[in-house]
Amino acid sequence: MRAFLLESLEQLRDHLAAQRPLFTPQFAADSSEPSWLPLSHNTPSVAIEQPLLPAYPAKQFFFPEREILFRFDGTDFKETLPKPAPQILFGVRSCDLCAIAYQDQFFQQDPYYQARRKATLLVGIDCQLPCEGGFCPTVDAGPFVRDGMADLVCHQQGDHWLLITQTSEGEALLEGLDLKAAAEEGITQRRSQEPQVAAQFPSATHIERGIQRINQSQVPAELWQTMGLQCLSCSGCTSLCPTCSCFTSYDRPVDDGFERERCWDSCLYDAFQREASGHNPSAAAGQRVERFWFHKFSDEYIKTFGRYGCTGCGRCEKTCPGVIGVHSVMKRISATP
Amino acid sequence: MDADRDNISRIIHTICPFCGVGCGIGLRVEQEKITGVEPLTSHPVSQGKLCAKGWSTAYAVDPIDRITTPLIKENGSFRPASWDEAYQLITEAFSTAITEQGADAVGVIACARATNEDCYAAQKFARAALGTNNIDHCARICHSPSVAGLRQTLGSGAMTNSIDDIEKADLIVIFGCDPTENHSVLGGRIIRAKMAGARLLVVDPRLTRLARMADLHLQLQLGTNIALINGLLQIIFANGWEAAEFLNERCENEAALRAKVAGYPPKRVTAITGVPEEKLIAAARMYAKADRALLTYGMGITQYTTGTNNVISISNLALVAGQIGREGTGINPLRGQNNVQGACDMGALPNVFPGYQEVAQQTSRDKFADHWQKKLPENKGLTSLGMTKGALSGEVRCMLIMGEDPVVTDPDQHHVQRALEALDLLVVIELVMTETAAMADLILPAAAFSEKAGTFTNCERRVQLIQPAIAAPGEAKPDWQILGELASRLGYHGMDWPNAEAIFNEITALSPLYQGMSYLKLAENYGLQWPCNEQAPNGTPLLHRQQFSRGKGRLIPVSHADPAEMPDEAYPLFFTTTRLHYHYGCGSMTRKSPLLERETPSGVLFINPADAQALAIKPQTKVRISSRRGEVETRAVITDEVPPGTVAMPYHFKEAPSNRLTNTAQDPVTKMPELKACAVRVTNLEEASQ
Amino acid sequence: MNGLMTPQLIRISEIYDDGEAARHFTFEPVSGTRHSARPGQFFTLAIPGHGEAAFTYLSLPDAQGRFKALIRRVGALTSALFECGHGDLIGFRGPFGNSWPLEQLLGKRVLIIAGGIGLPPLAAVTDRLSTDGNTPVGLIYGCRSPAEQVLKHERSAWHASMPILETFDRPSNKGQLTGTPLDHTQQMSAKLGGSPEAILSCGPEVMMNAAARHFIKNNLPPEKIWLALERRMHCGVGECGHCYLGSSTVCTDGPIYSWQQLIRLQSQTTA
Ligand code: SF4
Ligand code: SF4
Ligand code: SF4
């Protein structure tokens, strides 16, 4: 791990973009909606000091919404592994980086995921201000980038930036950039600054209490049912949650045979577990809502992944039409006697 | 290299193509394919949310089974053809029919999911190029009673308030629909309002999701809306809860209404509707005394032979309680398809030009004739059902149908099929091979919403821009362009528009409602709500603020009437149609999603546990449903969502088309078919083998 | 070489009907690649255009790599499979999942309780235990009616070496037993020479749960009761998420669970 001084983020971004396709959160055409988009001449230079929370996390770069697994050409099954060109994701926030680390583990043996993941270098960015609805400090996912979660990390310090290398691949990308090594105190300062940024986040006691109750099975079944009634099975939460990974697969006809496509699924759909016989182990909406939150906050998953399935990004709250995103749910859970 | 890189991905902001809520979506394009959608946080309607349909848009526009060239049917199967050949054939057949029998021997059915520009083109094509007022679209089976009813009472058939108003109301009244299923994002706004303290009053024979959340649910018998509302009005008047000042100043015909509803005392109303007296009184009090009560209704009001009167009666209620003309109040019909409002606004109706200017009026005919440089027909046009009837009788000989699937969605499927078969020529403009397209003599490939520019008008009258994200596959092109080219072949050159914007400019020139709009202004404002003109340059979120569009609000007494077909010994159960959250219209778009398809794999019959028990029906039991018109086989779903004595089926499934059962009895005013009630018999098909 | 998600070809070498809408299939390797499996594991079959579904081994792969499955026609995929004939090539992936705990069963009095179509997942372990010589094993097989019964040949083979009781909700003649499998456990214990020391069960979840509770009441420890579960699956390798059961995935942690594990998994959630 080494640290350098950087004058501006654009300097690094443009240097990297000259080497490989680079994706970074930007405002899509004439709007105030940040999305993951490729950097190009046509992209106006946007202010990147304050990291933008793109609508989607980075998961679709590795686990795309729809992906062909294999083809059947009429005689045999042919695996269709992606052959991705090397790429860079620039400006990934700590919550989303934690989720990538989580999915790296989850998809450890998945060749499709791994092919894309291995072709990608991650440039993280430390958040200096809480974002709307975010609560990363409560689930140990931010605000600063955790060790080992990115290839490069950018950290703003006054009018300049600290650039920290976390992998040799990351460091290799810097070749040709004339950078000054940063003083040791810059790094210590970064470390001591994180609690100050974390302290600016609004209180998240409802999340902490909610986590406790979920793990002690103290949430009344009726509350899950009431909240289940509010779930419109839109799949928004599972689409946007950076750690959600469920998929379904189906055969699509193509010219000379079939291809098997896998596509994002949602455990909130009524028929997610329904079997061919009609039997459905999670027929009640309340069960499915509970399932989602169990999967995000049960200690059971810490055993496997070393962290909760929730990284505190707050996206589910923003997108849930039924008002049962993370804050709404945890507030109600923590308010039960 | 950079140009290549731009092709890798981009996000195109546009409008969800599925329902009248009109949510904003970003289409993600990668390598010239639409690979996903992004919700838009800053969109005023959807605010970063979407429903299952919206989230699955990428599947709906999957190029996999698109029609990419004109197709001509020969010996029962289709062969690709050139545009030239196709146009030639159409021109000949239409011209022959017109020469031999007059212009009313041909007709056009526009589409409530096409853009305003397409719908405008369709009605101009019918009126100016063909010379007939035989132009309609599927609002007939959704909301024509709203237009007819509210135009009589208020002067305008659209939602009076805005979606935002849901969260300004302290009482939300939901009549005959469940927005959380069919207009989910709007339904979500209702849930949000409820969570924030608003009260909910639901009037529905079904125990819907919102009924379960409601503070008060009036579970009335199918088809008794008017009796119920007259009963509420009787209670309001009897207790002096009416908005006296409002009635005096802004309404007319109060005495007649009073006299009529006096005949509906609670006792009688309870007998008709099955709703207990104390609930009637509580509901009347709630609504009349609320500070701001917003009323919304859906197909449970309109799809009856009494549809227009149902709507009138809703209007009576809102007027008497003074719950209209202010923020957080109003009468708000929920439209089905994404652009049904726009299709009406554009005059894709037999009786009105764009902007609801009456065909019957000389002045409007002159105005349009002048602008279009063409003498226009005076004859009353046929509705879509009228055209199918005309096809059977030989009165109508050629039809052009734009992206609708009447074979699946119209009532009485057999009737429609026979009618379409009887035509000399059926032309269908479509994306994919629907049941209706399969019956065509000629299919023309259309561009999807994601492949063209244009505007949609959502249920709150918000005109919104859509943008092309990718190129149309093969030779497909926008409907307006097809119609323009056909018009030229027929010798009318008033439709040679260079682009969609030119059409929109023609619309704004002719329709006072859209007068102050332009593509630029729409882009700047995330859409504008009509009327938009000099007085309201930024549009009108709230209608009827100072006075009603027609001046005074008109109270019109109406009487209860039973549905045309009531259960009897032979057909002992009430049958009603519902819609499902996951599906839309005939399902030709939503069912392309493997997820949505899985959610409802085959048609289903919803039956109350009590009725199921009586017939020894278990979950998933195979059943046959028969009515006087036909029968359908499917599997049973046992649910308390439907009351005892009533069964329901969704109408999206070609495997179990519920419209084989439904009644073609019509609303006398709008010819709206009675889809919401008929009588059936259910047979357990597994009983024999038990 | 195909990876995790891509099937390999296998050939259907034999087919015959068995019971209500059920059919025996024997599969053989196409390219000579053989695999081995343990009793209780499962595999998936893919029919191009119809997707893929999980099935249990009725008999484990033999020296030539041939193995069997009993397949019931329930949906689109199985209907397509029923259209297939002798010699047809289809896709295969597996084996997946855990297996019956043989080491813990050998030498113990084992009672196998099967309901309806739940018998095939128990067939391979029944074969193994019934030929062990040292393991007293009995089978109680409950069905709604005689027409629902499957594995006629296998059952008649087992009859020679172990006690079998067959019971019906609606028997078709007087001599047959009626009632649920639990109505006949006494009789079976007598044949086994004592109450069972281990229970293996597969069938409708209601039946399995009732059986487990019954033996818990009769002081059998929960870790001596094993049930085989069924869930919708799309991958078989713990990724697709469909087969969750509390914090476990049935395709990798199951399909076989001890009652002790199930109790724990069930207690994780409340709704
Ligand atoms: S559960 Fe919600 S807040 Fe947590 S990571 Fe997922 S989307 Fe973000
Ligand atoms: S976002 Fe909300 S409504 Fe949609 S599936 Fe998730 S919990 Fe249900
Ligand atoms: S509510 Fe309507 S407009 Fe909004 S996403 Fe759903 S279908 Fe589309």
Q: Average pLDDT in the A135-148 region? A: 95
Cα separations in angstroms, A86 against B35, B86, B420: 20, 48, 56
**Mean pLDDT of all residues in chain B?**
89
Q: Cβ of C271 under 8 Å from any chain A Cβ? A: yes
Contact by Cβ (8 Å): B343, B119: yes
The larger pLDDT score, comparing residue B144 to residue A200, is at A200
Q: What distance in Å separates the CA atoms of residue A32 and residue C199, rounded to the nearest whole number? A: 62
Most C CBs within 10 A among A263, A275, A282, hence the mutation to make, goes to A275
* Chain A stretch 44-63, residues whose beta carbon is closer than 8 A to a beta carbon of chain B: 55-56, 60
The domains of chain B are located at: 5-60, 71-140+340-454+475-511, 160-333, 573-684
Does C115 share its domain with C233?
A: yes
Q: What is the CATH number of the domain that holds C63?
A: 2.40.30.10
Which CATH code of 3.40.50.150, 2.70.98.10, 2.20.25.90, 3.40.50.850 fits the domain covering B5-60?
A: 2.20.25.90
The beta-carbon neighbor of A251 closest among C50, C205, C243 is: C50
C230 reaches A (C-beta below 8 A): yes
**pLDDT for residue C32 is more than 90:** no
Percent of chain B at pLDDT above 70?
92
DSSP bridge partners of C23: C17, C71
- Ligand 3 close to Cβ of residue B51 (< 6 A): yes
**Is the model more confident about B364 or about C2?**
B364
- Give CA torsion, residues C154, C160, C161, C162, to 10 deg: 80
The pLDDT of residue B5 is above 50: no
User: Which of C96, C126, C154 corresponds to the end of one domain?
Assistant: C96
What pLDDT does residue A45 have?
54
Distances (CA, A) of B546 to B249, B318, B550, B648: 11, 16, 12, 42
- Which architecture, in CATH terms, is B573-684? Beta Barrel (2.40)
Separation in Å, CA of A242 to nearest CA in chain C: 15
The 10s digit of each residue's pLDDT in C90-110 is 999 999 999 999 999 999 999
Q: What's the pLDDT band for B4 if we cut at 50, 70, 90? A: very low
- CB contact residues (below 8 A), chain A span 175-214, against chain B: none
- Asked if residue C237 and residue C121 are part of one domain, the reply reads yes
Local structure of B48: helix, strand or coil: coil
In the prediction, which pLDDT does B179 show?
93
How buried is C133 (Cβ within 10 angstroms: 0-12 exposed, 13-18 middle, 19+ buried)?
exposed
**Percentage above 90 pLDDT, chain A:** 77
Q: Greater confidence, B672 or B219? A: B219
Over residues B26-56, the pLDDT tens digits come to 999 988 899 999 999 999 999 999 999 999 9
How far, in Å, CA of A207 to CA of A293, rounded?
11
| Listed range (B68-82, B537-551, B561-575, B579-593) with the worst mean pLDDT | B579-593
DSSP lists the bridge partners of residue A263 as: A66, A248
Structural domain spans, chain A: 2-199, 205-335
- Atom 3, ligand 1: residue with shortest CA distance: A314
The CATH number of B71-140+340-454+475-511, from 3.10.20.30, 3.40.50.740, 1.10.260.30, 2.60.40.10, is 3.40.50.740
Q: Do C83 and C177 reside in the same domain of the chain?
A: no
Asked if residues B210 and B190 have their Cβ atoms less than 8 Å apart, the reply is yes
Question: Which of B8, B35, B52 is closest, CB to CB, to A234?
Answer: B52
Whole-number pLDDT of residue C18 = 82
Which residue range forms the structural domain that includes residue C189?
102-270
Q: How far apart are alpha carbons A115 and A139 in whole angstroms?
A: 29
Arithmetic mean of pLDDT over chain C: 91
According to the model, what pLDDT value does residue B606 have? 92
Rounded-to-10 torsion of CA B390, B396, B402, B405: 40
Q: What's the average model confidence in pLDDT over B504-530? A: 94
Residues in chain C within 8 Å Cβ distance of A265: 240-242
Is C10 within 8 Å of chain A by CB? no
Burial A224-234 (b: 16+ CB within 10 A, else e): bbbbbbbbbbb
Ligand with smallest separation from the Cα of A244: 1
Among C96, C121, C153, where does a domain finish? C96
Burial of B421 (0-12, 13-18, 19+ CB in 10 A): exposed
Residue A266 near chain B (CB below 8 Å): yes
Q: Tally DSSP H helices, then E strands, for chain C.
A: 8, 15
Report whether residue A296 contacts ligand 1, using a CB cutoff of 6 Å: yes
Longest pairwise C-alpha distance within chain B: 79
The pLDDT of residue C31 is 79
pLDDT in tens, C55-90: 999 999 999 999 999 998 888 889 999 999 999 999
User: Which two tokens mark A299?
Assistant: 């200690």
Same fold, B5-60 and B71-140+340-454+475-511: no
Query: What pLDDT sits at residue A67?
Result: 93
Residue B649: pLDDT over 90: no
A 228-287 residues with CB < 8 A to C: 228, 245-251, 253, 257-258, 260, 262, 265, 267, 272-277, 279, 281, 284, 286-287
Residues of B in contact with A265 (CB under 8 A): 595
Q: Are residues C249 and C189 in the same domain?
A: yes
Q: pLDDT value at position B580?
A: 65
Q: Model confidence over B356-409: pLDDT tens digits?
A: 999 999 999 999 999 999 999 998 899 888 898 899 999 999 999 998 666 656
The answer to whether A190 and A155 have CB atoms below 8 angstroms apart is yes
Residues C253 and C126 in one domain: yes
Cα-flanking dihedrals φ and ψ of residue B584, to 5°?
-155, 130
pLDDT of residue A34: 85
Give the count of domains, chain C. Answer: 2
Q: Is the pLDDT of residue A325 over 70?
A: yes
Residues C48 and C33 in one domain: yes
Distance from the Cα of B282 to chain A's closest Cα (Å) equals: 25
Residue A286 C-alpha to ligand 1 middle, in angstroms? Answer: 18
- What are the residues whose beta carbons fall under 8 Å from the beta carbon of B196, sequence distance 6 or more? B167
**Confidence band of B22 (pLDDT split at 50, 70, 90):** very high
DSSP per-residue codes, A226-241: HHHHH-----HHHHH-
Q: What is the 3-state secondary structure (H, E, C) of C116-146?
A: HHHCHHHHHHHHHHHCCCCCCEEEEEEECCH
- pLDDT digits 0-9 by tens, B113-146: 899 999 999 999 999 999 999 999 875 555 678 8
C31 plus C116 within the same structural domain? no
Closest listed residue to residue A10, CA positions, set A161, A169, A164: A161
Amino acid A236: pLDDT = 97
How many CA atoms lie within 13 Å of A117's alpha carbon, on the beta-carbon side?
Answer: 22
Ligand 1 within 6 A of A314 CB? yes
Total residues found in chain A within this entry: 337
- In terms of pLDDT, which residue wins out, B478 or B301? B478
Q: Report which protein residue has its CA nearest ligand 2's atom 1.
A: A320
Closest CA to B395 of B404, B410, B382: B382
Residue A309 CB less than 6 A away from ligand 1: no
Are A318 and A306 within 8 A, CB to CB?
A: no
**A69-122 pLDDT, tens digit each:** 999 988 899 999 999 999 999 999 999 999 999 999 999 999 999 999 999 999
Place of tokens 């942690």: C253
Nearest to B581 among A31, A233, A318 (CB): A233
Both C124 and C67 in a single domain?
no
B220-249 pLDDT per residue, tens:
998 899 999 999 999 999 999 999 999 999
Claim to verify: residue C91 and residue C118 sit in the same structural domain? no
User: Does residue C75 sit in the same domain as residue C126?
Assistant: no
Q: What is the DSSP string of B484-545?
A: HHHHHHTT--TT--SSHHHHHHHHHHH-TTTTT--HHHHHHHT-EESP-SSS-TT--SSSSS
Distance, in Å, from the CA atom of B347 to the CA atom of B354, rounded to the nearest integer, reads 4
Q: Which of A296, A298, A308, A323 to mutate to test the pocket of ligand 1 (most atoms within 8 A of CB)?
A: A296
* Nearest-angstrom CA–CA distance, B110 and B400: 8
Spell C215-233 as b/e; 16+ CB within 10 A means b. bbeeebeeebbbbbbbbbb
- Whether the CB of A141 sits within 6 Å of ligand 1: no
Residue A109 to residue C51, Cβ atoms within 8 A:
no
Q: Which chains touch C (3 or more CB pairs under 8 A)?
A: A
SS3 C230: coil
Residue with tokens 């006949």, as numbered in its chain:
C184
pLDDT of residue B468: 94
Q: Does residue B454 or residue A54 have the better pLDDT?
A: B454
For residue B74, name the pLDDT band (cuts at 50, 70, 90): very high
Q: Do C54 and C149 sit in the same domain of this protein?
A: no
What percent of chain B shows pLDDT beyond 90?
69
Say what percent of chain A tops pLDDT 70.
96
Shortest Cα distance, chain B CAs vs residue A318, angstroms: 6
A276 closest CB neighbour out of C7, C75, C244: C75
User: In the CATH scheme, what is the homologous superfamily, with its name and number, of domain B160-333?
Assistant: Dimethylsulfoxide Reductase, domain 2 (3.40.228.10)
Q: Can you give the pLDDT at residue B77?
A: 94
Distance, in angstroms, between A332 CA and closest chain B CA?
Answer: 11
Separation of A223 CA from ligand 1 center, angstroms?
A: 20
Taking 3-state DSSP, the helix, strand and coil percentages for chain C, each rounded to the nearest 5, stand at 30, 30, 40
Query: Which residues of chain B neighbour A21 with C-beta distances below 8 Å?
Result: 5, 8
Contacts 24+ apart (CB under 8 A), C28-36: C28/C64, C28/C65, C28/C66, C29/C64, C29/C65, C29/C66, C30/C89, C32/C65, C33/C8, C33/C65, C34/C61, C34/C64, C34/C65, C35/C61, C35/C65, C35/C94, C35/C95, C36/C60, C36/C61, C36/C95
pLDDT at B6 over 60: no
Q: What is the mean pLDDT of chain A?
A: 92
Q: Is the pLDDT score of A37 beyond 50? A: yes
Give the pLDDT confidence score for residue A169 in this predicted structure.
95
Examine the fold and report which residue of C79, C96, C113 is the final residue of a domain before the chain moves on. Answer: C96
Residue A43 confidence (pLDDT) above 80: no
- Distance from C-alpha of B671 to C-alpha of B659, rounded to nearest angstrom: 16
Q: List C residues 251-270 in contact with A (Cβ-Cβ < 8 A).
A: 267-270
Give the pLDDT confidence score for residue A181 in this predicted structure.
Answer: 92
For residues A323 and A44, the model is more confident at: A323
Tell how far the Cα of B284 is from the centroid of ligand 3, in angstroms.
32
User: B394 Cβ partners below 8 Å, 6+ apart?
Assistant: B422
